[in-house]
Amino acid sequence: MNIKEKYIFDEVEAYRFGFGPLGPPLMSVFMFYLDGLVIDTAQSNMHQYVIEALEGKKIEKVLLTHYHEDHSGNASALSNFFNVNVYGHDITANKMGKDFKIRFYQLYTWGKSGITSLSPLPPLIETERYKLMPIHTPGHSKDHTVYLEENNGWLFSGDLYLGERIKYFRSDEKFKDQIDSIKMILEYDFDALFCAHNPVPEKGKARLAKKLSFLEELYGEVQRLCLKGYSEKAIVKALGNEKDKLVKFVTLGNVSFAQMVRSALES
């Protein structure tokens, strides 16, 4: 049961895609469009629907928030089909310039991203009506970059937000970097948070601030228990709940609450 949905927030078009050959999709992802710009490209398992959604539109540039396959999945397909450049951070360009390995659950849920040659990000990306500023926000991944349209108060936030009280990390996420990146972004003004998995069209800044409080609190708790002599396992047991069970099982432990604790201890 695939998901293909379209939402309109002001002049921003949001397309939600989920791939589910054996039932409901495990996860879904948003691709955004405004005034000739495509921001993130959804999963390659849905490539024909992604092309269909954009066909007939003015397409001038494709921007990536990071290299993860649910964001970069159709970068190469869109670049070839619409004959446009794909832009991203230098680290994203390095990753996308060669084949990168993904796990089985990623292949099933999203599919692989094609090798893509990226153009370097200019300080400002201008369309006829808008100006987007790329801001490097490492933590979720090293290359993670958000795009801010200051005049309209729109933040295309990739995977910076996801939710106020997130329950798990991937094994490569960095706790302290996420806190620093969110703090830095909260210095800017915006209202709409165009998150790639959970868009918040109004009062998005307040929601991102709540996520920061949650992460800081959890970070403090982990440090407190560590100082009391708790092992990593004991901290996971003391602070965790069962909410990561399914995702931990499906990803063979690559995504879990334990990964959050590990990352907080490493910081």
Contact footprint for Fe ion (CB under 5 A): 68, 159
Give Cβ neighbours of residue 193 (< 8 Å, ≥ 6 apart): 155, 157, 161, 199, 200, 201, 204, 205, 207, 208
Minimum Å gap between C-beta 73 and Fe ion is 11
Q: Which is nearer to Fe ion, 92 or 152 (CB)?
A: 92
Q: Which is nearer to Fe ion, 76 or 141 (CB)?
A: 141
Q: What is the dihedral of CA 95, 98, 103, 107, to 10 degrees?
A: 110
CB 259 within 8 A of CB 175: no
Minimum Å gap between C-beta 106 and Fe ion is 10
Q: Which is nearer to Fe ion, 149 or 173 (CB)?
A: 173
Q: Which is nearer to Fe ion, 71 or 248 (CB)?
A: 71
Q: Residue type for 151, please?
A: N
Residue count of the chain: 267
Q: Which is nearer to Fe ion, 91 or 234 (CB)?
A: 91
Q: Which two tokens stand for residue 141?
A: 């991944």
CB 118 within 8 A of CB 88: yes
- Alpha helices per DSSP H over the chain: 47-54, 69-72, 75-82, 90-96, 104-109, 175-185, 204-227, 232-239, 245-250, 257-266
Minimum Å gap between C-beta 103 and Fe ion is 13
Minimum Å gap between C-beta 81 and Fe ion is 24
CA–CA gap between residue 133 and residue 145 (Å, rounded): 10
Minimum Å gap between C-beta 188 and Fe ion is 21
Q: Which two tokens stand for residue 151?
A: 């005049």
Give residue number: closest CB to Fe ion: 68
Minimum Å gap between C-beta 68 and Fe ion is 4
